A and B are shown apart, each in its own frame.
Chain A
Amino acid sequence: MANLESKTPSGPLAGKWEKHKTEIKLVNPANKRKYEVIVVGAGLAGSSCAATLAELGYRVKNFVFHDSPRRAHSIAAQGGINAAKNYQNDGDSVHRLFYDTLKGGDYRARESNVHRLAEVSVNIIDQCAAQGVPFAREYGGLLANRSFGGAQVSRTFYARGQTGQQLLLGAYSALSRMIGQGGVELHANSEMLDVVIVDGHAKGIIVRDLITGAITRHSADAVVLATGGYGNVFNLSTYARGSNATAIWRAYKRGACLANPCYTQIHPTCIPVSGDYQSKLTLMSESLRNDGRIWVPKKKEDAKKAPASIPEADRDYYLERIYPSFGNLAPRDVASRAAMRMCDEGRGVGETGLGVYLDFADAIKRLGEPAVRERYGNLFDIYHEITAENAYQNPMRIFPAVHYTMGGLWVDYNLMSNVPGLFVLGEANFSDHGANRLGASALMQGLADGYFVIPYTIGDYLAGQKPVARTAAEGTAFKAAEDNVRAMTQRLLASKGKEPVSHFHKRLGKIMWDHCGMARNRAGLEAALQKIPALREEFWANVKVPGSADTLNQSLEQAGRVADFLELGELLCRDALTREESCGGHFREEYQYPDGECKRDDQNFAHVAAWEYQGEGKTPLRNTEALNYEFTKMSVRSYK
């Protein structure tokens, strides 16, 4: 039974974080340089963390599998980042951002964490502006905002359609500064393949150099994982091709609990699939829903007609119809399922019938094409490149796609997992978004964790630790972990099979999408729990991994990641099966209201499910952490 004590501070909600900061232990400035911290990942969460810890004086080693920290998947975020600045004077506040995020997550996140996130959101914008992030501005020179799904205020800051890029480059510049000064030792092209646990504490990692194949041991006083989400378990997604779950999965197999893996987010506005060669799905930022109107034909017969030939009266602007107060800005899960329902009714558009229109004709009439181009030009360009269609003249076709994972390694209020010394930040943890994440909140969370939370909370752990001797990597735990990594590499290369790794990834993705995608049910999940282990067996018997272990070998990299997805996928389905309710991104067909909305079960499921590994072939243990809402009433989430 894992220890899932949340360590949430007592006292009034708005004062918890301040109180906590004054109560936790500190490491004095002169002692900080005696401690070494490993940070895996340099997305928004990892680079902000590595830079800030180094500024404080800790010795930081930063590992990324990318060839440069600047290439982390955070770079691809388009739309924006939320903060409760209330610069628009439209009634925003820390409390409102807290409330929107909690409600958006369908009351499945910890109140205390979400409130802290809303509190530090304002500092993030200050920090990024000071770094020179070129946020969008009004003519007077002040910061501009837009609105995003699930909110009735304009609190999203953005940098054209490239907000993630600009925020990441800001964090990367801070990280680069610390690398230049010697505070951070960067290991690029370095993939973490195991966590080393010494006497119950995380004290190091095992790494494969992706260029030379060398496997090395690295010791530290604490290990921080900021390795991103696991959405590529579905194969097709809006994630970068290289995004993977290996770091968190191997940590899980060393005892860290994996919380709520079934909470996955399907984004409503992506470019539809065009063929089976497809390698990824491209997101069209949700910000488009500020000015675009979503519709399908009212009549099935019209689905294949040219959109321009369908008169206004025959169009169904279904989000505006069903959710009048939020309209096209209904939260992602709600909007995605509505699109799916339209397609199920046979009213989906495009060649495959799996698409809905996102139409800018009204916006162009109202604002003029130049204004629309100014706001969304790069997104229209992306759409054109991929589809060869002009969205200024014809509506875009969009369809939901896997986009984000709210689940992740379980962490306490200090962002420490149940394994002491192992911290988890950003999308890799489960902490702040409950069962559904609102738009523009992931960037906020990644930077909150890295810039403003971990710099305080890691001290509380380290203060109780003696700095490890540099020879720690000689110990038996390190040797065992290294042997484990080598054995897995050998096993993959030794397989005498015939099929490339990608075939297995595609097949896993299809099982996941069909049975554990937008809508789930018992029979489907039980079927998936049969199919995935069978596919896994086939993988090990029939995969073909060419090349050797001691050079750059992309097939080998991919094989290791897919092997992990083949295990994680099963846990995801198991979690979805045991959560007998619908909430946020987890929709169980058995649990819905007559109008198709999620039916939560607060009596039985107002808890976090944190899965604990029990060994190969054994059913993992489902631990729970109760969600006790002291300050907010868990109400039925309604966007009508």
Chain B
Amino acid sequence: MVANNSTKNFSVTLRVWRQAGPDQPGRFVDYPATNLNPNMSFLEMLDVVNDELTVKGEEPIAFAHDCREGICGTCSCTINGKPHGPGKGVATCQVYLRSFKDGDTIVVEPFRARAFPLVKDLITDREAFDKIQQAGGFISVRTGAAQDANAIPVPKEDADLAMDAAACIGCGACVAACKNASAMLFVAAKVSHLGLMPQGQPERDKRVLAMVQTMDEAGFGNCTNQYECSAVCPKLISHDFIARMNRDYIGALFRSKFKPVSHASGGAG
């Protein structure tokens, strides 16, 4: 995985997508990045380039980031055509320069998808994910209404599998990687996490129907089983969860008196 780079100081060319706002035209601009160290992170390189731009009186590159340790899901660059770049199971902030070679040209773009409108440069708006959660990504339990936590044992295998799904960081790489810009892996992860827990059973049908419907309304595409999503997922969430959600969805439709909007079944396909 690591293209070990022995040169302590090396240089690359960054070809970065610059776009001042959603209604402005965008284009690639080349920036040299020099004096790099293989132990530097990709985002630290952007910091250095931005400081250089600032000193020169140019506007720095806007990019989203926060925790810089792969857990908050804020960072979101497509690097050389791959969401989150060359590594496996890492987010953009966990990409280190040892993955690149002296003289490389690195193409950096935002996560592109119809449901993620561009904000500026490398930043997109992923509010659609929050909307899907608000539609049903929860177990309805008022604060204070809970019984003793050990009153409902959860088989370890179920809890572990639920945790595999719950590890999703909500970054949207799955959507950016999918040629249909589908959000199935994201939704399936939440539906599976809650659906695997005994506490999640009462609302299981309602949850999957509401979340899928909201996903469709937000403009995400259909899933055609390409599985680019799990390949780029920084938490390596398995596409098996999509199959699990499809089963849940079909069962729920069958049992439901709730009328889904007509195109919802397409979204879950």
Distance between Cα atoms of A76 and B54 in the complex (Å): 30
Of the four ranges (under 10, 10 to 19, 20 to 34, 35 or more), the interface on chain A belongs to 35 or more
Within 8 A of A (CB), among B43-98: 43-45, 47-48, 50-51, 53-55, 57-60, 62, 64-74, 87, 89-90, 94, 96, 98
Could you count the A-B residue pairs with CB atoms below 8 Å apart for me: how many are there? 219
Chain A residues 543-581 with CB under 8 Å of chain B are: 544, 546-547, 551-552, 554-555
The CA-CA distance from A326 to B139 in the complex, in Å, is 40
Among A29-37, A158-166, A252-260, A338-346, the one that faces the other chain is A158-166
Residue of B nearest to A166 (CB): B166
Q: Complex formed: what's the CA distance from A546 to B133 in Å?
A: 36
- Asked if A11 CB lies within 8 Å of chain B CBs, one says no
Contact B163–A159 (Cβ < 8 Å): yes
Q: Of B102-110, B153-161, B241-249, which stretch is located at the interface?
A: B153-161
Interface size range of chain B in the complex: 35 or more
Whether A552 and B2, one on each chain, are in contact in the complex, defined by CB atoms closer than 8 angstroms, is: no
B170 in contact (CB, < 8 A): yes
Q: With A and B bound together, what is the CA distance between A76 and B67 in angstroms? A: 7
Residue of B125, B159, B162, B169 touching A67 (CB-CB under 8 A) = B125
Given contacts A73-B66, A129-B152, A544-B54, contact A385 B71 (CB under 8 A): no
Q: Within 8 Å CB of B170, what residues of A?
A: 68, 70
Q: Is A298 an interface residue, CB under 8 A from the partner?
A: no
Query: Are B68 and A241 in touch, CB under 8 angstroms?
Result: yes
Q: Is the interface of B mostly helix, strand, loop or mixed?
A: loop
Binds B, one of A176-184, A463-471, A613-621, A625-633: A176-184
Residue of B nearest to A52 (CB): B143
Residue from B90, B130, B139, B152 in contact with A131 in the complex, judged by beta carbons closer than 8 Å: B139
Q: B64's contact among A67, A126, A130, A555, by CB below 8 Å, is which?
A: A67
Contact A173 B139 (CB under 8 A): yes
A123 interfacial contact with B, CB 8 Å: yes
Asked whether any CB of chain B lies closer than 8 Å to the CB of A211, the reply is yes
Q: A176-B134, A240-B67, A277-B37 are in contact. Are A129 and B59 (CB under 8 A)?
A: no
3 nearest A-B pairs in the assembled complex, by CB-CB distance: A141-B153, A130-B146, A173-B138
Interface pairs (9), CB distance under 8 Å: A67-B126, A75-B72, A129-B199, A130-B139, A137-B155, A141-B156, A186-B130, A240-B66, A241-B66
Other contacts beyond A188-B127, A241-B68, A280-B69: 15, CB < 8 A? A68-B129, A123-B146, A132-B200, A139-B156, A162-B71, A162-B167, A165-B71, A173-B137, A278-B44, A386-B96, A387-B39, A544-B55, A546-B59, A552-B120, A555-B54
**Interface of A toward B, CB cutoff 8 Å:** 48, 51-52, 55, 66-71, 73, 75-76, 85, 87, 123, 125-132, 134-143, 159-160, 162, 165-166, 169, 172-174, 176-177, 179-180, 186, 188, 211, 240-242, 274-275, 277-280, 282, 381-382, 385-388, 451-452, 455, 498-500, 502-503, 544, 546-547, 551-552, 554-555
